[in-house]
Chains A and B, each alone.
Chain A
Amino acid sequence: MKDAFLYALGVITLIIIGIDIQRIAALPPEAAQGTIFKIIFFHVPVAITAMLCSCVALLGSVLFLITKNFKYDALAVSVTEVGLAFLAANLVTGSIWGRIIWGVWWAWDARLTSALICWLLYAGYLMLRRAIEEPTQRATFAAVFSIFAFLDVPIVFFSIKWWRTQHPQPVFWGGGSFPPDWTRVFLWQMLAMALLAILMVSVRLREEESQREIDSLRRMAHSF
Chain B
Amino acid sequence: MALFLLQTADDVAREIGRLQRNYEFLSYGLTAAWIILFAYVMMMLARQKRLKREIANLRAMLDEKR
Contact = CB atoms under 8 A, between A and B. Distances in A.
A97 B55 contact: no
Interface string A160-182: 00000000000000000000000
* Count class of interface residues, chain B: 20 to 34
B55 A92 contact: no
Q: Give the secondary structure class of B's interface.
A: helix
A92 B29 contact: yes
A188 to B, nearest CB: 16
B12 interface: no
Interface stretch (A124-132, A138-146, A207-215): A207-215
A96 B65 CA distance: 57
A177 to B, nearest CB: 22
A78 B36 CA distance: 17
A34 B18 contact: yes
Contact of A203 (B44, B58, B65): B44
Given A93-B33, A203-B44, A39 B26 contact: yes
Shortest Cβ-Cβ A-B pairs, 3 listed: A96-B29, A89-B33, A217-B58
